[in-house]
Amino acid sequence: MEQPSPSDGSAELGDSEECDSEECDSEECDTEECDTEECDSEECDSEESSVYSGLEDSGSDSDSPGSREEEEEEEEEEEEGHQEDEEEEEEGAPGSPSCPQTQAKGKRKSLEDDSPLEGKQDLVVHDEYEEDSSDEEDIRNTVGNIPMEWYQDFPHVGYDLDGKKIYKPLRSKDELDLFLEKMENPEYWRTVQDRQTGAEVPLSEEQLELIRRLQRGNFGDVNFDPYEPAVDFFSHEVRIHPVTNRPADKRSFIPSLVEKEKVSKLVHAIKMGWIQPRKPKENVPAFYDLWAREDPNSVLGRHKMHVPAPKIPLPGHAESYNPPPEFLLSPEEKLAWEQQEPSERRLNFIPQKFRSLRAVPAYSRFIHERFERCLDLYLCPRQRKMRVNVDPEDLIPKLPRPRDLQPFPTTQALIYRGHSSLVRTLSVSPSGQWLVSGSDDGTVRFWEVSSARCLRTIPVGSVVKSVAWNPNPSICLVAVAVDEQVLLVNPGLGDRLLVAATDQLLDSWEAPEEERIQPVRWIPASPEERGKGIRLLVQHDKPVTQVTWHGKGDYWASVVRNPGGRQVLIHQSSRRWSQNPFRKSPGMIQCVRFHPLRPYFLVASQRSVRIYNLLRQELTKKLQSNCQWISSMAVHPGGDNVICGSYDSKLAWFDLDLSTRPYRLLRHHGRAVRSVAFHRRYPLFASGSDDGSVIVCHGMVYNDLLQNALLVPLKVLKGHSPRLELGVLDVAFHPQQPWLFSAGADGTLRLYT
């Protein structure tokens, strides 16, 4: 049924030459078909064929492969149109072997329909009649325009008009046959296969010539001249006759209303200043001497507050492309660098080393860094910061050298061993010969200071909270706080006369006529206890935490752990008489002291120290300690200064004449301060702390009221090993010598000289 018009056939021929033959099977078939037809019509002379080819070109004047598809579509339509006529013709010559000719007829017919040039068609028609007499077999394939691969696996390639199978020609040629054919057949090179029928057809001379022409890129028609001189219809030359003879419109004679409207609008806009005439371009040089008349004094007021942006820090060795090897990061450092936050990094790049300048790549963050600088310049709040440019040595206060402030204890001289548990408290006899200590192992031990010998041990059965040696040198008496009792012990050490006198003093008490109600019970010791040295027992109703003697040695005070109730009691040992000085207790009382010179009584609660005048029975002063929790307190022998140790590791020095606030708050210790002590003769004070150290300070108090006390730390004495988070629990100075005793949690007492 294929009916390609000759023009299409030739056009496709050119195409098929150009593109791969595999791609366009059907097209090739077309070409072959038309080839067969042409070779059959070899009789017609070359002129005819040339005319023929010229015909096709002028008929469908599109050779470009781009428009080929359209053509094909047209083709198909045509084919459908012609199909009927063809069939008729075929019927006219059934079984005739000259199929190509009929084909040609059909084609020519189609040409007749297409071509506008009638004269030439006549020729063609004439030709047709001439060759009509053929009675060749028509082996036209009726499968239509389908891909011929569909018939690949069948022995036939389609059906002829009678519906009989058209068999493929025998393809039993092997390589040798092919070769032989190639060698023997002189037409071999111009033979092509007709896909539709499978027949092999040699191409004619004209066809070959056409192919060559198209290969060269020439027109298919030999006679076509593409370079004919062009004839301009509309040209620049003015013709004598007008193109059109139409008379002029009326509107070409009268002024335009639309234009008038437009102009008036523009005029109005100009009047109103909406449209501004084009400003003349100023011809000023872009740059000139801007600072020709600079006046350094004409600084704006704003510039006073100006904070110039700091310059970008200059690069160091590490940024070099070839840094010294020590500046390169080791793998661990690199890992650490990567894990750091970008803002935390000290270098914002990883140092790298390159063998030569040629190997250095572009820095990928260059634009970023410039951009960040820009952001810093306009977004970052600026502040003038005074950089402290001081020599750190200048910051250290100039203090007198400790060597010039001797004597003070410097070295550990003796260790008093014997207690099996932590030693809570110690006290030195006023003569400085004996030492008493109370421990958690339930004993009170008496030591000779100079030899570290334990002279007596009194078991008391419970934890000893506090011991205090009577400061009066003519009385040999020690107060020991155990549980709810305070024991008055005569150790029987030293001068026998003195010991006897003390006993006598205690025994000389006579019960008063009328019994007074006392907050405590005074119980004389049983003979057994007396043998141990205990003379009197003072029974409190709550556990006693501290005892302290008045300087004269008759009165003493005890602190009872009794929150909310009465906590402080003052006792007179000679009259065996006790009293409760306060109606109301101020918080939890930590520590009490008698003033060494005046009738004052100092009471330390958690945060503050109250000073009461015992004679006038009133509060004289309240010292704010600035500490969280006072642990201990000591009064300067001069009486005008007080120090407080606190559990938050501070030591507050109060000058009573100066203020109720501490004159100096010393943070020397690393842990809680447990006890503080003043020396009676030398300007020394010491503090013992849980960190196991005792710090001895020089605390010079001047008589001149205008001069403040001079505090100089002198020595850090270390010896006690901290145990159970406790270090030094009590410190005391020797009454005459610049010696220091300390009691520690490691069960020892130590003497520093």
Partner 1 sequence: MGGLEKKKYERGAATNYITRNRARKKLQLSLPDFRRLCILKGIYPHEPKHKKKVNKGSTAPRTFYLLKDIKFLLHEPIVNKFREYKVFVRKLRKAYGKSEWGTVERLKDNKPTYKLDHIVKERYPTFVDALRDLDDALSMCFLFSTFPRTGKCHVQTIQLCRRLAVEFQNYVIASRSLRKVFLSIKGIYYQAEVLGQPITWITPYAFAHDHPTDVDYRVMATFTEFYTTLLGFVNFRLYHSLNLLYPPKIDSQAEDELKPAEGKEYAMDSESYLERLSALSASLARAVAPTHEDEVEVDEFPVEGETAELMDAKKKEQEALEKHKKLFEGLRFFLNREVPREPLAFIIRCFGGQVSWDKSLCIGATYDATDPSITHHIIDRPPGTPLPRYYLQPQWVFDSVNAKLCLPVADYFPGVLLPPHLSPFVTEKEGDYVPPEKLKLLALQRGENPEEESEEEEEEEEEEEGDNDKEEEEEEDESEKEEEMKLQKMEEQKMEEQKTQSKVTAGKVRLEDKQRLEQEQQSEEKRLAIMMMKKREKYLYKKIMFGKKRKIREANKLAEKRKAHDAALKEQKKKNKKARQA
Ranges within 277-306 binding partner 1 (CB under 8 A): 278-279, 286-291, 294-296, 298-303, 305
Span near partner 1 by CB under 8 A; candidates 385-393, 417-425, 597-605, 682-690? 385-393
Instruction: Show the site string, 403-422: x = touches partner 1 by CB under 8 A, - = not.
Output: x-------------------
The owner of tokens 């159970």 is 724
Please say which residue, 292 or 517, places its beta carbon nearer to partner 1: 292
Cα–Cα distance between 3 and 110 in angstroms, integer? 9
Please say which residue, 64 or 298, places its beta carbon nearer to partner 1: 298
Exactly one of 19, 275, 497, 705 binds partner 1 (CB under 8 A); that residue is 275
User: Phi, psi at residue 522, to the nearest 5°?
Assistant: -95, 120
Instruction: Show the site string, 697-736: x = touches partner 1 by CB under 8 A, - = not.
Output: --------------xxxxxx--------------------
Tell which residue, 592, 549, 551, 552, has the closest CA to residue 568.
592
Cα–Cα distance between 707 and 237 in angstroms, integer? 124
Is residue 742 a contact partner of residue 434, using CB atoms and an 8 Å limit?
no
Please say which residue, 139 or 651, places its beta carbon nearer to partner 1: 651
CB of 611 to partner 1, least distance (A): 27
Tell which residue, 642, 601, 613, 640, has the closest CA to residue 625.
642
CB of 103 to partner 1, least distance (A): 60
Please say which residue, 217 or 325, places its beta carbon nearer to partner 1: 325
Cα–Cα distance between 650 and 629 in angstroms, integer? 10
Hey, what amino acid is at 474? S
- Whether omega before 407 lies within 30 degrees of 0, making that bond cis, reads yes
Burial 677-697 (b: 16+ CB within 10 A, else e): bbbbebbbbbbbbbbbbbbbb
What is the footprint of partner 1 within residues 573-632 (CB under 8 A)?
Answer: none
Q: Beta strand 136-137 with 156-159: parallel, antiparallel or unpaired?
A: unpaired
The owner of tokens 């026998």 is 496
CB of 619 to partner 1, least distance (A): 31
Largest CA distance in the chain: 181
CB of 336 to partner 1, least distance (A): 13
Please say which residue, 279 or 584, places its beta carbon nearer to partner 1: 279
What is the footprint of partner 1 within residues 362-381 (CB under 8 A)?
Answer: 362-371, 373-375, 377-381
Cα–Cα distance between 427 and 434 in angstroms, integer? 9
CB of 281 to partner 1, least distance (A): 10
Tell which residue, 689, 694, 686, has the closest CA to residue 733.
686
User: Phi, psi at residue 482, to the nearest 5°?
Assistant: -130, 120
CB of 116 to partner 1, least distance (A): 45
Span near partner 1 by CB under 8 A; candidates 71-79, 206-214, 320-328, 503-511? 320-328
Cα–Cα distance between 398 and 515 in angstroms, integer? 63
Please say which residue, 327 or 629, places its beta carbon nearer to partner 1: 327
388 belongs to the binding site for partner 1 (CB under 8 A): yes
320 belongs to the binding site for partner 1 (CB under 8 A): yes
- What is the number of other CB atoms lying within 10 angstroms of the CB of residue 139? 18
395 belongs to the binding site for partner 1 (CB under 8 A): yes
Please say which residue, 367 or 706, places its beta carbon nearer to partner 1: 367
Quote the Cα angle for 327-329-335, to 5°: 160
Please say which residue, 641 or 687, places its beta carbon nearer to partner 1: 687
What is the footprint of partner 1 within residues 324-353 (CB under 8 A)?
Answer: 324-327, 330, 349, 351-352
559: β partners: 546, 568
Hey, what amino acid is at 291? W
Residues binding partner 1: number (CB under 8 A): 88
Span near partner 1 by CB under 8 A; candidates 99-107, 321-329, 450-458, 552-560? 321-329
175 belongs to the binding site for partner 1 (CB under 8 A): no
Exactly one of 355, 516, 584, 616 binds partner 1 (CB under 8 A); that residue is 355
Tell which residue, 84, 49, 46, 61, has the closest CA to residue 8.
61
Hey, what amino acid is at 132? D
Please say which residue, 370 or 598, places its beta carbon nearer to partner 1: 370
Please say which residue, 254 or 388, places its beta carbon nearer to partner 1: 388
Span near partner 1 by CB under 8 A; candidates 77-85, 245-253, 360-368, 483-491? 360-368
Please say which residue, 19 or 275, places its beta carbon nearer to partner 1: 275
24 by Cβ neighbours in 10 Å (0-12 / 13-18 / 19+) ranks as: middle
What is residue 278's DSSP assignment? P
Check the CA dihedral 47-208-149-151 and report its sign.
positive
Quote the Cα angle for 150-152-158, to 5°: 70
CB of 302 to partner 1, least distance (A): 5
Exactly one of 71, 319, 503, 554 binds partner 1 (CB under 8 A); that residue is 319
312 belongs to the binding site for partner 1 (CB under 8 A): yes
Please say which residue, 317 or 622, places its beta carbon nearer to partner 1: 317
Span near partner 1 by CB under 8 A; candidates 73-81, 195-203, 273-281, 614-622? 273-281
Please say which residue, 340 or 457, places its beta carbon nearer to partner 1: 340
Please say which residue, 233 or 287, places its beta carbon nearer to partner 1: 287
Span near partner 1 by CB under 8 A; candidates 356-364, 521-529, 642-650, 743-751? 356-364
Please say which residue, 117 or 399, places its beta carbon nearer to partner 1: 399
Quote the Cα angle for 335-340-346, to 5°: 100
Strand ranges inside 550-692, DSSP E: 555-560, 568-572, 577-579, 591-594, 600-604, 608-613, 618-624, 630-635, 641-646, 651-655, 664-666, 673-678, 684-689
What is the footprint of partner 1 within residues 651-670 (CB under 8 A)?
Answer: 666-668
CB of 607 to partner 1, least distance (A): 20
Cα–Cα distance between 476 and 494 in angstroms, integer? 8
Is residue 460 a contact partner of residue 441, using CB atoms and an 8 Å limit?
no
CB of 469 to partner 1, least distance (A): 31
